[in-house]
Chain A
């Protein structure tokens, strides 16, 4: 059985209701159904999640390290963009 051509999948796990899916890692699988099952075995066997997403890694468009400066640098000196001027109500945990 050759397996070198199994595509790569990115795995997103939602740990509980109310939180969003978070990237957990990646894995190889022959198709989406098996990617889900492999993700279940690799990333949720200690009770980490209640919902899983798998996405073909090839479907992700990522920013390039070369573009770091034009992409991210300009936001560093604009403090008015940061919502730090109001108080967070007590009891809000996942803001």
Chain B
């Protein structure tokens, strides 16, 4: 029984990292400036490394990444949201990295299955969080247009944030405490960035987010089609 709970948890956390890594990878060749493209690619590679370790705990990493159907993915709906403009990408990073940093810090301090991975990853994620916070401050408190776009992104992604704090089998953390810390941190960053904390629901009937149950949003199908296409067209191919 412990094995299966742990597998479910590895899938959930591994899919978060894999899917967000792919989304960030989509910026390659399209980022606003070369320096930022490298920064996003670096973050994507950190996440891909985490995904490989986590998915290997759950089974064969290639099979899991390339041969599962959409409904079998257990990632949060937040991480599959399209890149849209740069502000959406940054706010998605802010929401997710803050959560992931708090989560991994807690896992690293414990003695569960994920402690060694979390201890290594927490340093990477601290940088991702810093990167997102720095950008949020500059977009929010930048030009009129950057402020408006950042605010739009904050609102659009807000309803996906409640899902992060719902319990996952095998992930031994206090969701309520995590959520309180997350709200305090993100709230403070948005305040400093002169952005308004969205008022929309994060929980209750109107919340979005059933990614952990395998229900995904419309754009996710296209994303995994692109991600899996090469492997499916050339099974077993290697470099």
Contacts and interface: CB of A to CB of B under 8 A. Distances in A.
Nearest to A42: B38
A29 B42 contact: no
B33 A3 contact: yes
Interface of B: 32-36, 38-39, 42, 86, 130-131, 134, 138, 146
A69 B199 CA distance: 69
A42 B39 CA distance: 8
Interface of A: 1, 3, 6, 27-31, 33-34, 37-38, 41-42, 45
Of B32, B36, B42, B138, most A-chain CB atoms within 10 Å: B36
Nearest to B42: A41
B25 to A, nearest CB: 15
A41 B38 CA distance: 7
Nearest to A30: B138
A30 B137 CA distance: 13
Contacts of A41: 35, 38-39, 42
Contact of A34 (B32, B42, B134): B134
Contacts of B39: 37-38, 41
A45 B35 contact: no
Nearest to A6: B33
A37 B38 contact: no
Contact of B134 (A27, A33, A42): A33
Contact of B42 (A1, A3, A30, A45): A45
A91 to B, nearest CB: 35
8 contacts: A1-B86, A6-B33, A28-B34, A30-B138, A34-B134, A37-B39, A38-B35, A41-B35
Given A29-B35, A30-B138, A42-B38, 12 more contacts: A1-B86, A3-B32, A27-B35, A28-B33, A28-B35, A31-B138, A33-B134, A37-B131, A37-B134, A38-B36, A42-B35, A45-B42
Contacts of A6: 33
Contacts of A30: 138
B49 to A, nearest CB: 13
B186 to A, nearest CB: 20
A55 to B, nearest CB: 16
Contact of A1 (B32, B130, B131, B134): B32
Contacts of B33: 3, 6, 28
A29 B138 CA distance: 12
A6 B138 CA distance: 14
B8 to A, nearest CB: 33
A34 B86 CA distance: 16
Contacts of A3: 32-33
A30 B33 CA distance: 11
A31 B34 CA distance: 15
A31 B134 CA distance: 11
A31 B137 CA distance: 13
